[in-house]
């Protein structure tokens, strides 16, 4: 099993959920109101800086995880080209789980 961790702007959540569902990912956890700093800048979630992030966690079989990662790479590339190569607030991390059993 693999765990996918997706970090993205909250404004992308609807698109990401649609993408996940269309790629067979039907179980995941969303953490909202996530703040931090990365290549696209600081995310404060304040009146003057209203951007906010979300984290999506999904535990998937390796083949489904690989398919989702491939599609997310395509989504990232498409958005980057549309924004004239500006950084896109979308990062995907994949980790292999050491134990596949429910603990």
Q: pLDDT tens digits, residue range 13-38?
A: 999 999 999 999 999 999 999 988 88
Q: Which residue has the tokens 């398919």?
A: 67
Measured CA to CA, the distance from residue 95 to residue 59 in angstroms comes to 9
Q: pLDDT tens digits, residue range 32-69?
A: 999 888 877 788 777 777 789 999 999 999 999 999 99
pLDDT score at 101: 62
pLDDT score at 103: 52
* Domains with residue ranges and CATH for the chain: 2-96 (3.30.70.120)
């Amino acid at each position: 099993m693999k765990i996918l961790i997706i970090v993205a702007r909250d404004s992308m959540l609807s698109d990401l959920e649609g993408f996940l569902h269309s790629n067979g990912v039907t179980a995941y956890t969303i953490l909202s109101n996530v703040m931090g700093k990365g290549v696209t800048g600081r995310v404060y979630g304040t009146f003057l800086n209203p951007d906010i992030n979300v984290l999506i966690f999904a535990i998937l079989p390796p083949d489904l995880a690989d398919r989702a990662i491939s599609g997310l790479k395509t989504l990232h590339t498409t958005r980057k080209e549309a924004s004239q190569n500006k950084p896109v607030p979308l990062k995907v991390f994949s980790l292999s789980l050491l134990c596949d059993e429910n603990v």
